[in-house]
Structure 1
Amino acid sequence: MADPTLGIMTLYQKDGTLDEEERTYFRSLVLQGEELGLHVFVFTPEDVDPSGTSVRAHVYDREKGGWSRAPKPLPDAVYDRCRSQQSPKFRLMRSFRTQYPKLLYLNHPLSSKWGNHVILNKDSRIRPHLPLTRRFHTLGDLKEFTALHRIVYIKPVDGSGGRGIARVTRNGDGQLALSGRDASRAIIQPLTGSPEAVMRRLSGWITDRRYLIQQGIPLTLKDGRVHDIRLLIQKNASGHWQVTGAAGRIGAKGSATSNLHGGGEAVSFHRLMAARGFSEAKTAAIRNDMEALGRAIALRLEGHFGRLCELALDLAVDPAGHVWLIEVNPKPSREVFKRIGDQAAYTTALRRPLEYALFLI
């Protein structure tokens, strides 16, 4: 009997190629799948045969050490790795899911950052962990939020990797300091000035995209760099939510975000908490709060959108030890665990979607 099949659904880049970083991840999934008796291949909605019964898949050959193309029947299960974006290619993904609703999908798409916030804010267990967040439109929004909070973040409704995120800090003299990254992830030239001056600068690179404004949590370390915590929660081989691991991320010097792709550094959770001055007992309590919050968020979002297999939560811990949710990432990387040398968490993070696929099949 042939091995069950898992199709990893992704999107081509603008030049018609697969993302190089994702392809490295896909290779790992293929090799791990072989060990589990699961045949894994990669496809995009553009690869579907006109008959609708097969795909021209990307197949990795362990012996040859490379990728090739081969026709494959539609898989037994689909692992959706199509990251949200405003593009015709992303609409193709939605069209594929509409056309093939009976396929066994490991995960369903979530909403935008704003849509997810609205859903989570309705849960009394989660609400105390959500920073004040609203849609961002005008100078009045900027003035209102910076009067309430010394730090605010302005971020696109859709997006990932720290692109297009600005941090605005209110100084003691009432002026605002602006820093951040543009849509290409480049660090923007800092600016200090009036709310009007900051808004003019923002208007220069916040164009036709929809944005949020959000209460900022104090995340600056003694050296001036910002940090957060990435917690990965996944379905296990029995179909139950289980926390895979947590790790700290410290942003590059001068960066308003901690993303690894923007030059950030990965550190262990305990090392980061010790640097924040928390005792071992307090660190353990914080970790328990994070894991409980992660499960509550996973259950809430799955109850709304349908089956999910994994979520990465970007979390903040304020000086009092209270845990805050910055945002949810439904298509997470595992790189942070490799960078801190936690091979056990990294391997588990790779295998769990495959084990969950076998469970569903």
Structure 2
Amino acid sequence: MSYNYVGILLNAAMYRGIPRLKTREESLSNYQEAAAELDLIPCFIKIGDVDIRTGRTAAFIYRNHQYEQVSMPIPRVIHNRAIYSEAGPRHRIGGLLSRQVAVFNMNNRYGKDEIHKLLSADPYLRSCLPDTALFSPANLKHFMENHNDLILKPCRGSVGKGVMRLHQDGAGWSLTFPSHSRKNTWISQKLRGRELPGPLKQQLRRYPYLIQQRIPLAEVQGRPFDLRVTVQRGLTGEWGITGMFAKKSAAGAFISNLAGGGSAYPVPSVLAEIMSPHESAVVIAQVEHLALTTVRYLSRHLPLLADLGLDIGVTADGRIYFIECNGRDQRYGFKKAGMMETWKASYREPMAFARYLYNHTR
């Protein structure tokens, strides 16, 4: 095989940190190691440097034991690890496609409402979804009449930002939301009947939100957990399960996001605390089946997906639910769980898919 360049498209802030090796959750060395195994050379780019007209871009490449910025032709294959909310960058990615550049995971931020609507069209996948609707006063009234535990989440957002819980007990309804002044601290407020606080009403009018039945997640020592399943396409072009880890919520929290104080563990060790080895094996097989069915279905409807992280919930009696899909999987959870080989594999598979694209496209 000949050497080929593969572009890794990063947001501007992360790109600026490359010379100082300050790229937060992204491991440059994992990209280098994985690409070298496949006779690929990774080059790190940002969309603002891509010149569609000339077909060239600035890029960081590892040379002489450091990252050097060079000018080079746009790589023929690019793995998108950036998230854009503005029209300009998205338009420029469209320009890359017009130049026959293969950009996989070209959109990393599909709305939770979009994904839910897509999955709801499939009978099996619909059976694995919690009751969900777009927020409106009428929908909220309906959900509060039919469920006693609800989640309100932004249609677009990540790492648990903006997520709130509405819960009913013997004393009535309570709202639990993150503190604005203290990190990873939650505040609970009793409601007057079913009346939401004024600031929350304003927030719900300002941004699109989903109302969702809260899944009764299994708990370990009072801490609910769910599973992050990394599903990727590799050297054959087919989807496969790279690995999964369990995310336990912080004490007193109802979300398990690592950025919100949650912690990561190997799945077997967590399931062993609540079920038998046989039950654990059955649950893992069901989770893998749901994950693969989900990504295969989504990839028939969304362009060139190849690298996704799915959050899947497990109840105490072993029932599984799809929670949400992450287009920019935060792979460092494997590292936090002590799963170092799986962490490296989560970088290797996208590079293998890049090699697949080089081998099978003009």
Q: What is the TM-score when the length of structure 1 is the normalising length?
A: 0.89
Alignment pair present for 1:175 and 2:177:
no
Q: In the alignment, is residue 257 of structure 1 matched against residue 255 of structure 2? A: yes
**Relative to structure 2, which stretch is displaced further, 28-37 or 306-315?**
28-37
CA RMSD, 1 decimal? 2.6
Q: Classify the secondary structure of the residue corresponding to 1:96.
A: helix
Q: 1:206 to 1:68 in 2, by over 3 A?
A: farther
Q: Do the aligned partners of residues 185 and 99 (structure 1) sit closer, same or farther apart at CA in structure 2, a change above 3 Å counting?
A: farther
Structure 1 counterpart of 2:289:
292
Secondary structure of the residue aligned to 2:281 is helix
Give the letter for the 1:347 counterpart: K
Counterpart position of 2:225: 227
Q: Which amino acid aligns with 1:344?
A: E
C-alpha change, 1:82 and 1:182, in structure 2 (3 Å) is farther
Letter in 2 for 1:284: A
1:338 aligns with 2:335: yes
1:172 shift after superposition? 2.1
- 1:130-209 alignment to 2 at 5 Å? 130-138=129-137, 140-180=138-178, 187-203=185-201, 205-206=203-204, 208-209=206-207
Of 92, 95, 100, the match for 2:96: 100
**Against the structure 1 CA distance between its residues 242 and 185, is the aligned structure 2 distance closer, same or farther, given a 3 Å change threshold?**
farther
Of 19-28 and 125-134, deviating more is 19-28
After superposition, the Cα gap between the structure-2 partners of 1:108 and 1:49, relative to the gap in structure 1 and judged at 3 Å, is: closer
1:322 aligns with 2:324: no
CA distance in 1 between counterparts of 2:163 and 2:189 reads 15
Which secondary structure does the structure 2 equivalent of 1:70 belong to? strand
* Alpha-carbon displacement from aligned partner over 1:295-320 (angstroms, at most 9, x marks no partner): 11111110001321121110111122
Deviations 1:199-229 (A, max 9, x none): 4352365462211111111126354333211
Measure the CA separation in 2 of the matches of 1:205 and 1:187.
Answer: 20
Q: Does structure 2 retain, via aligned residues, the 8 Å contact 1:314–1:328? A: yes
> Which structure 2 residue ranges, 5 or more long, are not aligned?
none
Shift of 1:124: 1.3
- Offset at residue 39 of structure 1 (A): 0.7
* Structure-2 change in CA distance of 1:73 and 1:312 (3 Å): same
Q: Which secondary structure does the structure 1 equivalent of 2:301 belong to?
A: helix
Name the CA shift for 1:222/1:81 in 2 (closer, same or farther; >3 Å). Answer: closer
The Cα offsets for residues 117-162 of structure 1, whole Å up to 9 and x where unpaired, read as 1011101121110111111132x43332233222211111111111
TM-score by length of 2: 0.89
Secondary structure, counterpart of 2:75 in structure 1: coil
Deviation at 1:176, TM superposition (A): 2.4
Q: For the residues of structure 2 that align with 1:250 and 1:316, how far apart are their CA atoms?
A: 11
TM-superposed CA distance for 1:184, in Å, is: 10
Match of 2:93, as an amino acid?
A: R
Q: State the alpha-carbon separation in 2 of the partners of residues 314 and 348 from structure 1.
A: 19
Aligned to 1:4: 4
Q: Structure 2: which amino acid aligns with 1:154?
A: L
Taking every aligned residue pair, what percent have the same amino acid on both sides?
25
Counterpart Cα distance in 2 of 1:314 and 1:271: 18
Give me the whole-angstrom Cα distance separating, in 1, the residues matched to 2:225 and 2:67.
Answer: 37
Question: Does the Cα contact within 8 Å between 1:164 and 1:181 map onto a contact in 2?
Answer: no
Tell me the equivalent position of 1:70.
70
Distance 1:283 1:168, change over 3 A: same
The aligned runs of 1:39-78 (5 Å cut-off) are: 39-49=41-51, 51-61=53-63, 63-64=64-65, 66-78=66-78
Partner of 2:124: 125
Give secondary structure in 1 for the equivalent of 2:346. Answer: helix
SS of the residue corresponding to residue 344 of structure 2 reads helix
Aligned equivalents of 1:293, 1:50: Cα separation in 2: 39
User: Which amino acid is 2:252 matched to?
Assistant: G
Task: State the 1:103 CA deviation.
Answer: 0.8
Quickly say closer, same or farther: Cα 1:358–1:183, change in 2 above 3 A. farther
- 3-state SS of paired residue (2:160): coil
Q: SS in structure 2 opposite 1:311?
A: strand
Q: Please say if residues 57 and 69 of structure 1, whose CA atoms lie closer than 8 Å, have aligned partners that are also in contact.
A: yes
Letter of the structure 2 residue corresponding to residue 189 of structure 1 = I
- Cα displacement (A) at 1:282: 1.1
Report if the CA contact (8 A) 1:177-1:191 is conserved: yes
Amino acid at match of 2:116: H
Q: Deviations over 1:79-98 (max 9, x none)?
A: 01123x53x3xx23311222
Amino acid at match of 1:221: E
**Partners of 2:8 and 2:72 in 1: how far apart?**
12
Cα offset, 1:196, TM superposition: 4.4
Secondary structure in structure 2 of the residue aligned to 1:246: strand
Q: Which is worse superposed, 280-289 or 12-21? A: 12-21
